[in-house]
Structure formats: C-alpha cells, structure tokens
Structure 1
Amino acid sequence: MSTANVLSAAVREELLGEATWGLRHHLARGAVDPSLLLSSADIEARLDASLLKWPYFTLLKSGESPPASSYTTVRDVIGHKVGGFPDPVAIRRLMAGGASLKLNQVADWHRPTRELARSLGEQTDCAANSYIFWTPGAQQGMLPHRDAAHVLAIQIEGRKEWHLHAAPGQIGAQAGLDVDSSSPTHVFTMEPGDVLYLPHGWPHDAVALDGGSMHLTFTLTGPTPENLVDAVLRRFLDKEEDLVHHFHTRALDARTSEVRAALVRTVAELDGPSWTRTALDSMRTEIG
C-alpha cells in the first residue's frame, strides 16, 4: 500500500473536510497504522550510519537548542573535513538528559513521508512540510507556540499530552511564542495511531508521557498575501522581458507607467485558480 493512503478517504474527510478545516480541532483515534511510518529504530539506524546531516536533525529542550557542535561531528569525505554529521553518542546523552530530537524536512530524505506530504498538500491546496519530534518521557521539546500553518500530527510511538490554547485573542495568523498557557482550552492524550488536526494559528504545546513519545507532524501552509504577490511578480518578470531587460532605455516616468500597466495586465490574466497554483508551485519548490 502506498504511504499516501495511510490516511483513508474517510479519515481525511473527518480531519480535513469542510466541517473541520480552518474551523476547529479534531482528534481521530486509532486512525492510522503507525507501523507504516518511520520508527525510532529507523531513526537510530540513520543516525548511527551518518545518513543525515545537520540541520536535518536538531535537539530541543523547553524551546532551547544546544549548540550544533555539541551533538555533531566532523568526517573525512573524499579527503575533505566536513562537519554536521550526527554524533550518536552525544545525541543519546543529550536525549537522556531530557532533550527532544527534532527531524526537519523529513519528506526530503524519506520517500514514504514525501508521498504522504504531497498527497496532503494536493488535497488541501497547501504546501506541506514534515517534521518528527522524538521526546523523552516527562519532557517538552517546544514551548507553547502557534504555527503559521494548519497542523496535522500523527502519533507513532508512546503517549503525549497536548494542551491547546484556543481562547479568543490567542489564535493568530503569524507564528509566535506570545501564548498565555495558564488556562488551556483543551487537554488530551494522543496514543499510537491517533491523528490530530489543528487549524491555522492555534496555539499548543505537548509533553511526552511515560517512556517517551514520537510523532510526525505536517504543517500545511496556504498561500499568504505575500505569496500571491510574489506569484504576480514572477509572472510579470517572465512575460515582460523587454521591459525587464531594457528598462534603462526608458525615462523614469515612462518606466513607471509601463510597469504599472504591465502589472495590471498580469493580474488581469491570472484567474483565481491559476494565481493560486502559481503561488503554491513556488512554495512547494522552496520546500523541495
């Protein structure tokens, strides 16, 4: 079975359908088979074999990151000293001291996760990025925060207690740590196979329970106003070659007038769907 189908159509509708998307959080219990995803044993094998380089892996403890030099090492690569390779002994020592291992842009180096990310991105008209958080028991990798994206979290191993802070005034468009976590609006525990959806900008934090926790997170980011403006600019630069490459032959007033007219023309030629698609294609290219 393709990893893109780990989430069934029914579960996708339950989590990401019109009744939920952008409106409220939703927790689907036992919705996936976690054995189809990366395991802690898979990750340890990659670290031991030096198959990842910093910053594809980082460490966090209560929002603080130790220096990369404290858990990376230098290797000889074709006669050159190259840094940023994992030091498995140091990583395990720091995790034993309470640090969480965060794996970044998992879709770049794990094909099944890439399949699932692409599928989620296409379904939601978003750019999908992927992360894994492996946290020791009774520890917290990140402080209460909000993401500038929708969030889909899949619990793979262990248990994690989540706190949502969705009171009026707490939800926002921008990422940030300015969250009042004194009175959570929702508290629940995720177990292996559970899947959580959070709308864009919902503040949250999570604490690993028992022997530790590992979950896979997808951030699903729709085009922002800046992304849409960038899409117009890219289309303008592609179509207006004479103006772009020979602007110096125009007097300043004429140059300004021509650019204004060309921008208006470019916007008029972009209908809604093609404009959105242009912005999304660029966002997805940046993610990889």
Structure 2
Amino acid sequence: MTTSISPRSEETTRTPAHLADLVGDAGSFLGEVWGTRTARFSCGRAKALLTVADVWRELDCGSLIAPYFGILQEGTATTVAGIAETRIVQTKPRPGYAKPSAVREKIAAGHVFVLSQLEDWNGRVGALVDSLRAECRAQAGAAAYFCAAGSGGVPAHADSAHTLTVQLAGRMRWTVGEGVHASETVVEAGEVFYVPAARVRQAVPCGTDALLLVISLQQPTARDLAELALADFLHSSAAQDIAGTHHFLSLEEKTAWLRTELRAHLAGHPHGALAKRAVQLRQREGRAQGRE
C-alpha cells in the first residue's frame, strides 16, 4: 500500500538539505513508514537538486569520467562500453571519458543514462546525502537516471537498501511487489517516493522523458554491529588482561568470564556511537569498491 502525504508549504529558495525537507515530519516517517510500506511525498523544490539541463551540461563539459557515468544494462548494473573514449591528459592517455555523441545515440536507442556517486561531486546532492546518512544512520549514496520517453526505464530488481527517489522531471510509473501483492504508483515531478529495502520494484517513464534521483540508504546489519562490538571488546582492557592467563582457566571458567565481561562491555557501549561507526565503515568500503 502506498501512502500519499499531502503537500506542505514549501520554500522555493533552497534545495532540500535534510530528511524533513523531503518527507515532512522526519520522526513520523522513521517511526511509522520506514521499513513498513511505500509512501509518496510532495517536495517541489527538490526538482532543483539536478535538472535535465545539468545532465547535458555535465555530459558536454568534457570532464565526465568513469565510474561517474554509465548506461544501464541488464538488471541495474551500468557499463561504459561503447560510450567512453581515451583522451590525452598531460601527455598521457587516460581512458574512461564520456563520449557525448555515443551517449546520445544510446539514449535515442532506448537506453537509460546514469550519473553515479553524485554525492562525491555534486554539491547540492552531496549535502543532502550527508544529512540523510546521519539522520537515518545508514550508508548513503545517490545516482541520477535519465529515461527517454519510450525507454524500458529501470528494470525490475530487489534493492537491499531503502530508497528515496526524487522525481526531478517527467513522470514515472512504479510497480512495487510481485504477483497479487504488486501495486502501481505514478510519481510526478516534484514528488519523493519511498520504497523499503528488499521490495521488488521497477519504473518506466509515462509518455515523456524523465529524470529521477535515487538515494539509497543501507543501515548496518546485526552482523555489522556484532562484528564491530566484538572487535572493540577484543581490544578492551578486560580482554588484554586475560590474554596471558586464559590458558590456566577451564573451558567452563572461560565461558563464564566471557559471558560476564562481554555483557558488561556491551552495557557500557553507546549504541548510537556503535551504529555511527558501522555506517562510516560501510561507507568507506562502498566508496573503495566503487572506485575499483
């Protein structure tokens, strides 16, 4: 079920910079919507985060380079095959630069053009993503998708992250779920569409070119938190003190010691700080993988 939340009064002088700018009451969103159901929100000024003119400007400026762009291929993976070229930069060949004419040919043929990792190089999007990362305690990233009218749009897939999709231009018809549980929602320019993690979703443009910004938010798993807490415990004074004497203890004594000390360690561990560190670690790992 998709919940449609009525528009709220909006400023038009600045782009969204916080969760509340996108969804209204952030507390209600996180407490009642997050992880439970899809929802649609109105945020007209979100359209200024990135425009179609911005996309063409980035493509034509000559400095767009992999991995910050691509063409959507099967599934949700992107490729630069056939749309990238090698240029001479400071007397050395440098591959991976976007070739504007080739990109336009792909778009005309029905392919979806993607600008990736926008949080790293677009100031407005980066500021918003930084805020969402802290407010949602989640690894966060953003990508823009330009879908020409008549294209296949974003194919069906199940995302492991929660997503907030800002419709920047045009209209998209989203299908979330499968079979009898599937629901359709048409998202207009200036609206934000939330889909919980693990839901199968796909989107196609509704008769016109469309530009959307997909912000992915992936919270640490229980395993992430457990591994980080255990690593901290192994470096604690209690663990260091027993390191040289544990072989004098019986298995039962070791088990009892571990149960007592680990419980005490976790009781004194700030949960918010642990989650924040887990997010930071996942973010660094994600960026490193994205640049490989």
1:50 to partner: Cα distance? 2.6
Give the match for residue 5 of structure 2: none
Give the match for residue 176 of structure 1: none
Q: Does 1:96 align with 2:93?
A: no
Write out per-residue CA displacement over residues 118-153 of structure 1, whole angstroms, 9 at most, x where no aligned residue: 222222222211111111112224321111111111
Which of the residues 21, 25, 40 maps onto 2:38? 25
Matched residues in 2 for 1:31 and 1:66: separation? 29
Which of the residues 223, 228, 240 maps onto 1:226? 223
Taking a change above 3 Å as real, the CA distance of residues 92 and 279 of structure 1, as seen in their structure-2 partners, is same
Write out per-residue CA displacement over residues 185-225 of structure 1, whole angstroms, 9 at most, x where no aligned residue: 21121111011111221211001122221101111111112
Matched residues in 2 for 1:237 and 1:81: separation? 48
For residue 18 of structure 1, what is the amino acid of its counterpart? G
Q: Does 1:76 align with 2:73?
A: no
Write out per-residue CA displacement over residues 214-267 of structure 1, whole angstroms, 9 at most, x where no aligned residue: 101111111112321342355357658x97xxx9xx79968x97xx95993764
Which of the residues 44, 59, 70 maps onto 2:56? 44
Taking a change above 3 Å as real, the CA distance of residues 142 and 82 of structure 1, as seen in their structure-2 partners, is same
For residue 27 of structure 1, what is the amino acid of its counterpart? R
Taking a change above 3 Å as real, the CA distance of residues 4 and 65 of structure 1, as seen in their structure-2 partners, is closer
With CA pairs under 8 Å and 6+ residues apart, which has the higher RCO, 1 or 2?
A: 1
For residue 215 of structure 1, what is the amino acid of its counterpart? L
1:13 to partner: Cα distance? 3.2
| CA RMSD, Structure 1 to Structure 2 (Å) | 3.2
Give the match for residue 279 of structure 2: 280
Which of the residues 17, 20, 27 maps onto 1:4? 17
Matched residues in 2 for 1:184 and 1:268: separation? 42
Matched residues in 1 for 2:232 and 2:116: separation? 31
1:268 to partner: Cα distance? 5.5
Normalised TM-score (structure 1): 0.79
Matched residues in 2 for 1:64 and 1:285: separation? 22
For residue 133 of structure 2, what is the amino acid of its counterpart? G
Give the match for residue 98 of structure 2: 86
Matched residues in 2 for 1:10 and 1:65: separation? 28
Taking a change above 3 Å as real, the CA distance of residues 184 and 59 of structure 1, as seen in their structure-2 partners, is farther
Unaligned runs of 5+ in 1: 166-180
Deviates more, 1:8-17 or 1:128-137: 8-17
Matched residues in 2 for 1:94 and 1:139: separation? 11
How many residue pairs match? The answer is 264
1:76 to partner: Cα distance? 0.9
Which of the residues 43, 55, 75 maps onto 2:67? 55
Matched residues in 1 for 2:185 and 2:47: separation? 23
Taking a change above 3 Å as real, the CA distance of residues 17 and 261 of structure 1, as seen in their structure-2 partners, is closer
Which of the residues 133, 136, 154 maps onto 2:166? 154
Q: Does 1:199 align with 2:211?
A: no
SS across alignment from 2:81: helix
SS across alignment from 1:281: helix
Report the identity percentage: 23
**1:135, 1:212 within 8 Å by CA — same for their partners in 2?**
yes
